[in-house]
Amino acid sequence: MRAVDGVSFEIGTGETLGLVGESGCGKSTLGRGIMGLLPRGAVMDGTIEFAGRNLVALGDRDLRRLRGPEIGLIFQEPMTRLNPLMRIEDHFKETLETHEPNLTEADVRRRSLDALGRMGIPPTRFRQYPHEFSGGMRQRIMIALALVLRPKLVIADEPTTALDVLVEAQIISILDELKRNFDTTLLLITHNLGIVAEACERVAVMYAGHIVEEGDARTVFSEPAHPYTRELLRSVISLHTTELNYIPGAPPDLADPPPACRFHPRCPNAMEVCAQKDPIEVRAATGQRVLCWLHGPDEEIPPGAEEPLEREAIAIAEEA
């Protein structure tokens, strides 16, 4: 089974890329794969190129050195990631002393309080336990823990899950400020298309282990090229919604995916070729990279379809 299959994308310094798609499509697996945090027995191949190094080729010891100082991860559900028996102070102390053992106790405290202060957590809360904080404040603490080591790349895995809309807006504002002030590169994994539209320059749409569309966020949202992207956008509820839309069915079991295009059993635009041949990545007329037979190329597709793309240089992940 391939949870992430043939994926290729780039993230530039200081850029935010939104990774969207239904649950079970491989988004979190991709994020954890970049950091080498996959279950025992999982196999990675291809190339994950970061700062001139191929992360797939690194050993566990080298990867541990990168996690935190170079690549940070904001987990889902902060209450399950914070040790309920440890004070917030101890979480930061453990993180900093593990990666920067030469720091003095005063330096650890200063760095910790500075990171928490940027998240709006006052120093008076430093010695409290996780259960004494609200869900939104726990998420801010998780962000502060990820950023206290000043990583170049932050992978935010559903950072606003289960938060109300006001706290969600605050978290997105914090992430945007980090990007502007510290040139932080951000991979934002989320189900929330509204957050992506507001916070991301580019978006990659993932389905059944494949990235089916990737491009400029404004273009993808205004002129989606892949039927799956269109159906996701139709399913978003807004103040102007008059009826509920949904995509029939569910993402496939990746242990036994459908043949050829994995979306064709649910696709409103499916053609005969979609069930027979794997789609080839092409450049849509609007500029996005798209994996769909509607954009060619094949003798069974109407004339004028675009030519297939040459494989681009990989900057973050391929076949994670």
Domain borders along the chain are: 1-66+152-157+167-320, 71-150
Q: State residue 3's pLDDT score.
A: 87
Class of domain 1-66+152-157+167-320: alpha beta
CA distance 221 to 219: 5
DSSP string, 292-307: -GGG--STTSPTTPPP
Residue 301 has pLDDT above 60, yes or no: no
Highest mean pLDDT among 34-43, 53-62, 193-202, 207-216: 207-216
Q: State residue 131's pLDDT score.
A: 93
With residue 53 as reference, give the H or E element that holds it: strand 53-54
C-beta atoms surrounding 97 within 10 Å:
13
Whether the bond between 302 and the residue before it is cis, its omega within 30 degrees of 0, is: no
Q: State residue 303's pLDDT score.
A: 45
Can you tell me the mean pLDDT for 26-34? 92
> pLDDT by residue (tens digit) across 57-81?
998 889 988 998 999 998 877 667 8
Does this model's pTM top 0.95? My answer is: no
Q: Are 245 and 233 in contact (CB under 8 A)?
A: no
Q: State residue 162's pLDDT score.
A: 67
Q: What are phi and psi of 95, to 5 degrees?
A: -65, -50
CA distance 209 to 216: 21
> pLDDT by residue (tens digit) across 74-110?
887 766 789 999 999 999 999 999 999 999 999 999 9
